[in-house]
Amino acid sequence: MHEGRTGAVIEARNLTIRRGSRVIYDDVSIAFDSGVTAILGPNGAGKTTLLEALLTPPRAGNATIRFVGARVDDSDSFRAFLAGVGYMPQDWTYFSGFTARESVEYAAWLKGARGSSVRSVASAALDSVDLTAFAHVKVRRLSGGLKQRVGLAEAFVNDPRAVLLDEPTVGLDPAQRASYRRFLRGHATDRAVVISTHLTDDVEAIADRVVVIAAGRIIFDGAPAELAAHGTRTEGTASALEAGYLSVVGANAPAQGRL
């Protein structure tokens, strides 16, 4: 387990999240280092809830959130935290009327960029996702894959130490997904990239670490190969990793819920 490591880029301890009377997470602790971490789990397991709690420490109740070793517990540390993280939500939306450049520039401005640096950091972000040629095209006119790249450029525009991406490859064709993965892989050497996904091939392709969550608990935390080792590939499973994932999730599912 990666709990409580002092060198973690982003870390949450004793995270408890409730929605009404329902407990989503009960006293969970998790930390993320540099590299790509995939959060895997069935639909409704709370992947998005976890990312949102990490992004808004004040919403994380009594949990302790640390960012690059510093506790996020006041407005100054919260600002530093926000300045150092990037985020792309699952249902990434754009402001109709904005071009790709304007959309990324606005995200940069929201992240605190000022004056001429707004333009320069946006240019760099667009360039990094190969969108320079489309910079002056309205986002609404871009294809689905190119739109996702605008979202990616926004998430990286502030050169964050930690990036949280919620289901970033959903809806992309194989070529786009490959391009996406290459980008993430190439930008994870000096930052924590956390991807929430339910696609095991994403995990296999780029993740250094995989965290499986189900029923409000972390049920697996380790290397993709370790997860793959948990299962036996049978007919109907696409890969050893998927077999391992199904095995881990199945073993932790409530008895009545098992197929």
Partner 1 sequence: MRALTLLARRSVAPIAGLAIAGIDVWLASLAMTPGMRLWADVVTGLTSAALPTGTLAAGIAAFEANRWSNANRDRTMVGVREPVLVRAQHAAAVALPVLAGYLLALGILGVIAALTGTYGSPAVLWLASLGAGLLLATAVGYWAGSAFGAHWFVAPVGALTFVVGYVAATVGLPVFGMRALFPAGAAMDSVFTRTVDLTFLGKSACWLGLTVILVVTSRGSRRPGTARRVPTIVVLVAGLTAVTGGVVVIAENGQVTAAYNSRDFVCENDGFTLCLNRGYAVAMQPLHAAFAALNSRVDGTPLAAARLEQNVEGIGDLPARGARSVYVERLSSPSDIEFAVERYVKKYGAAPHCGVESIGVPAVDYVDTWLSGADYFSDGSPEPARLSALKRLSASEGNAWFRAHASAYFSCSLTLADLP
The residue ranges that bind partner 1 (CB under 8 A) are 55-60, 79, 82-83, 85-87, 89, 92-98, 102, 105-107, 109-112, 118, 154
CB of 180 to partner 1, least distance (A): 19
Nearest-angstrom CA–CA distance, 135 and 19: 41
Which one, of 221, 202, 205, 204, lies nearest residue 213 by Cα? 221
Q: Which is nearer to partner 1, 59 or 182 (CB)?
A: 59
Q: Is 184 strand, coil or helix?
A: helix
CB–CB of 244/237 below 8 Å?
no
CA distances from 17 to 53, 61, 110, 119, 240 (A): 8, 7, 27, 39, 32
CB of 112 to partner 1, least distance (A): 4
CB of 12 to partner 1, least distance (A): 14
CB of 78 to partner 1, least distance (A): 8
CB of 149 to partner 1, least distance (A): 16
CB–CB of 56/8 below 8 Å?
no
User: CB burial class (10 A; 0-12, 13-18, 19+) of residue 71?
Assistant: middle
Which one, of 157, 171, 180, 144, lies nearest residue 102 by Cα? 157
Q: Which is nearer to partner 1, 117 or 232 (CB)?
A: 117
CB–CB of 53/15 below 8 Å?
yes
Q: Say which residues have a Cβ less than 8 Å from residue 55's Cβ, sequence separation at least 6.
A: 85, 87, 164
CB–CB of 30/2 below 8 Å?
yes
Q: Which is nearer to partner 1, 6 or 93 (CB)?
A: 93
Q: Which is nearer to partner 1, 96 or 256 (CB)?
A: 96
Q: Which is nearer to partner 1, 24 or 228 (CB)?
A: 24
Q: Which is nearer to partner 1, 79 or 182 (CB)?
A: 79
Q: Which is nearer to partner 1, 13 or 111 (CB)?
A: 111
CB of 102 to partner 1, least distance (A): 6
CB of 131 to partner 1, least distance (A): 17
